[in-house]
Amino acid sequence: MSIPRPLLQTNEAQLIKRICDGEREAFYELLHPYERMIYAIAISIVKNPADAEEVAQEAVLKAFSNLVSFRGDAKFSTWLAQITYNEAKMKLRKARPHLYESIDAQQQNEDGDYSPTDFADWRPIPSELLEVCEIRETLLNAINLLSSTYREVLVLRDVQLLSIKETTTILGISEAAVKTRLHRARLLLRDSLAPGFDGFWIKGQTYRKVRPW
Amino acid sequence: MTTIEISCVEVWREISNYLDEELSPDLRDRMEAHFSACAHCTAVLDGTRNAVALLGDGRLFQMPEGFSKRLYKKIQGLP
Ligand SMILES: [Zn+2]
């Protein structure tokens, strides 16, 4: 995180050269900073840890065997994120083709204005609470309940902190679509973090108070 | 110069772009004028900012135990 970008890119270019020259160990060094990114993208699409790990491994193998074709005109991280995204989507399509959401169904959600609920006693959730396993799970649940259209944009932009441009490249959608989906995703997530909704995101599940206040 | 007022609905539409600093200076000023006078929109802004901050926190997505090691093994096994 703290390595300045130009330096990082030079470093990566050198690593890639070494790998292409046959130095296998350098590949791990190249990949290491992006392990979490690969995992986060994978799990945000396939939703369960075992599948996400499989996707991650497939993505890594694919990245390795295609490394010679990486030209360096895109950032390595974007290239890797795109490979991971494609692998995850493929896995999803293979596993449950009948559940694969149609474009039409997704499109419907994007029409019309959304009115955020007014929560009288809103108080922010401090980041330190992410140390608490239950809070983390509650938040991950909330993300998982978003439709995939929203979840994907949210994970790339707000979890991986990729730029709008990088996100358009990976998802193959327009900048306007990225902004619209991100907007809706953030507001929906904000609603689900509100008091009274804690642990209550899955219909029929018993209410569980997670917030400590 | 007075800023032209905008409605809550217009503010909600641009909250995400506001957080990303993707607005024209003019619209940003109008949003800010609105926030200083509207508690509901301020709450929506704060809540959304809170959600975004939690998402960006490295602690949220934790890799499974041994993930890194298994990935490494996979690479080692490459032809
Ligand atoms: Zn307002």
Q: Where are the domains of chain A?
A: 5-96, 127-193
**Domain residues of chain B, as ranges?**
8-76
Q: Which value does ipTM take for this structure? A: 0.90
Q: Is the pLDDT of residue B42 over 70?
A: yes
Q: What local confidence, expressed as pLDDT, does residue A201 receive?
A: 38
Task: Give strand ranges (E) for chain B.
Answer: none
- Which has the closest alpha carbon to A138: A187, A39, A92, A207? A207
Q: Are A198 and A209 within 8 A, CB to CB? A: yes
Multiple choice CATH, B8-76, 3.30.70, 3.10.450, 2.40.160, 1.10.10: 1.10.10
Q: What local confidence, expressed as pLDDT, does residue A127 receive?
A: 85
Q: What local confidence, expressed as pLDDT, does residue A144 receive?
A: 86
Query: Considering just the CA atoms, what is the radius of gyration of chain A in Å?
Result: 19
| 3-state SS string for A21-33 | CCCCHHHHHHHHH
- Judged by a CB distance cut-off of 8 A, whether residue B37 touches chain A is no
Q: Are A142 and A194 within 8 A, CB to CB? A: no
Q: What local confidence, expressed as pLDDT, does residue A188 receive?
A: 87
Q: What local confidence, expressed as pLDDT, does residue A196 receive?
A: 56
Q: Tell me which residue in B43, B47, B61 faces A36 most closely, judged by beta carbons.
A: B61
End-to-end CA gap in chain B: 69
Q: Provide mean pLDDT across the span B30-44.
A: 92
Task: Classify domain A127-193 by CATH number.
Answer: 1.10.10.10
**Going by CATH, does the domain composed of A5-96 fall within 1.10.1740.10?**
yes
- Whether residues A179 and B22 touch (CB distance < 8 A) is answered with yes
Q: Which residue of A has its CA nearest to B47?
A: A190
Q: What local confidence, expressed as pLDDT, does residue A172 receive?
A: 94
d(CA A35, CA B71): 9
- Judged by a CB distance cut-off of 8 A, whether residue B65 touches chain A is no
Q: Give how far A172 is from chain B: nearest CA, Å.
A: 20
Amino acid letter at A58?
A: E
What pTM value is reported for the model? 0.83
Give pLDDT < 70 ranges for chain A: 1-7, 96-114, 118-122, 195-213
